Structure 1
Amino acid sequence: MATKTYSTRVNEQDHDEAVQIFNDLGMDWSTGIRIYLKSVIKNKGIPFSLSQSEILSPELEKSIEQSLEEYKKENYQTVHSVDELFDQLDK
């Protein structure tokens, strides 16, 4: 298969760190990038999770803590259907 040269802009520090990791794995920059691209193709998407869930806002953290405290105190209601949930929310 024919190859083609592409040019990308990469932060110098990110490039240097990636090159070091690739070298530690016994490969060069081009091989590391080709492996990444093959993984994108195989997975039909980015080969790792893209999420902001690891970084919670202070408000969300506080809300989660409050919810957990209410749960621990058994201060909650159980519903058995979506309709019942909405009936409870409307009260």
Structure 2
Amino acid sequence: MAMTVLQTRVDSETKLAAENLFSSLGLDITTAIRLFLKQAINQQKIPFEIVPPKKQFSAEVLAAIDEAKKISRNPNVKSYSSAKALFEDCE
């Protein structure tokens, strides 16, 4: 398979922190990025949950987020495939 170059720019602090993390896992940054890309393709999505840094939220908001996660994972909670179905059920 032909190889190509992928370049990206990040601030020095982010690069150093990523290099330190990946090095502790036995990876270099190029391999870590390649793993991310392969997993995104395999799963057809971002292969992890994207959340803002928790320091931006109050304790009340963090508790609400945790509650929402628990509810969304509970198989006994009724779910809807669309907003229309939800609104119809509310009538």
TM-score by length of 1: 0.55
Deviations 1:21-79 (A, max 9, x none): 11111111110100011111111111112346x6657xx85xx7xxxxxxxxxxxxxxx
Corresponding residue for residue 3 of structure 2? 3
Q: Which amino acid aligns with 1:37?
A: L
Flag structure 2 segments of 5+ consecutive residues without an equivalent.
65-88
Query: 2:90 matched to 1:82?
Result: yes
Task: Note the C-alpha offset of 1:11.
Answer: 1.5
Q: What SS does the aligned partner of 1:7 have?
A: coil
Aligned residues: 63
Aligned-pair CA distance for 1:7: 1.1
Matched ranges for 1:32-51 at <5 A: 32-51=32-51
> Residues 48-87 of structure 1: matches in 2 within 5 Å?
48-51=48-51, 61=61, 82-83=90-91
| 1:82 partner letter | C
Question: How many angstroms apart in 1 are the aligned matches of 2:50 and 2:22?
Answer: 22
Which structure has the larger Rg over C-alpha atoms? Answer: 1
Name 2:21's counterpart in structure 1. 21
SS at match of 2:49: coil
Please, what is the CA RMSD of the aligned residues? 2.5
Q: Where has structure 1 moved over 3 Å in runs of 4 or more? A: 54-57
* TM-score of the pair, normalised by structure 2: 0.55
